[in-house]
Chain A
Amino acid sequence: KNQVEQSPQSLIILEGKNCTLQCNYTVSPFSNLRWYKQDTGRGPVSLTIMTFSENTKSNGRYTATLDADTKQSSLHITASQLSDSASYICVVSITDKLIFGTGTRLQVFP
């Protein structure tokens, strides 16, 4: 069964701190893995997209890693800001569909 699991479900950190979100997947055939940021009441916004052969990809303070052998990915957020408070969704793409994780709810406090 194609599944994408994320941990933790929720996370609270102080402004300026770093954090890492985890994603494990059992999806086949694998096309690419994406991380999205979803603000409350808004649609998801793409942060990174990685194909099978890519190990890491950065987008500003966001750095995603991918281990295709262990089927794990992580999203590292550096020097968090209040505006980083949102849900972060790991999505694995197969041929014509996206398999969504349940997301990690991140709250950044001053």
Chain B
Amino acid sequence: GAVVSQHPSWVICKSGTSVKIECRSLDFQATTMFWYRQFPKQSLMLMATSNEGSKATYEQGVEKDKFLINHASLTLSTLTVTSAHPEDSSFYICSAGQGAGHEQFFGPGTRLTVL
């Protein structure tokens, strides 16, 4: 299967700071990238869908001004958690695909801890 990487794999930051997480498709061009959040012992929750070159579509209840998503190229999407708070501490996972109905390949995830 295709390879998707995330960086960093884990990050610890102080409350009020911003954190950027990168998601890269290493061996294919991803027209669509998805960002998920997963709390302990819970399933993945879709936060937003981004298509290369256009604005991301956010799920209900996800603040677009807090979770900034950029998908500037076919191999890179970034999620920036702005003014992070302890309740933003979670496991953030991206996936990449080639459009609706196509396979999604998941990244290894990024563990964010906000102190």
Q: Which residues of A contact B (CB under 8 A)?
A: 31, 36, 41-46, 49, 89, 93, 95-98, 100-103, 105
CB distance from B74 to the nearest CB of A (A): 18
Q: Collect the chain B residues with CB atoms within 8 Å of residue A45's CB.
A: 106
Q: Name which residue of chain A comes closest to B91, CB basis.
A: A41
Q: How far is the CA of A44 from the CA of B107 in the complex (A)?
A: 8
Q: Collect the chain B residues with CB atoms within 8 Å of residue A46's CB.
A: 1, 103, 105
Q: How far is the CA of A44 from the CA of B108 in the complex (A)?
A: 8
Q: Is the CB of A49 within 8 A of B103?
A: yes
Interface contacts (Cβ under 8 Å), in number, total 43
A49, A96, A97, A101: the one within 8 Å of B43 (CB): A101
CB distance from B87 to the nearest CB of A (A): 20
Q: Name which residue of chain B comes closest to A100, CB basis.
A: B43
Q: Collect the chain B residues with CB atoms within 8 Å of residue A36's CB.
A: 106
Scoring B residues 68 to 96 as 1 if CB is less than 8 Å from chain A, else 0, what string do you get?
Answer: 00000000000000000000000101010
Given A31-B101, A96-B101, CB of A43 within 8 Å of CB of B109: yes
Q: Is the CB of B101 within 8 A of A44?
A: no
A sample of 13 more A-B contacts (CB under 8 A), given A42-B108, A100-B44, is A41-B91, A42-B109, A43-B93, A43-B107, A44-B93, A46-B103, A46-B105, A49-B103, A93-B101, A96-B101, A97-B46, A100-B43, A105-B41
Q: Collect the chain A residues with CB atoms within 8 Å of residue B101's CB.
A: 31, 93, 95-96
Q: Is the CB of A43 within 8 A of B106?
A: yes
Scoring B residues 1 to 27 as 1 if CB is less than 8 Å from chain A, else 0, what string do you get?
Answer: 100101000000000000000000000
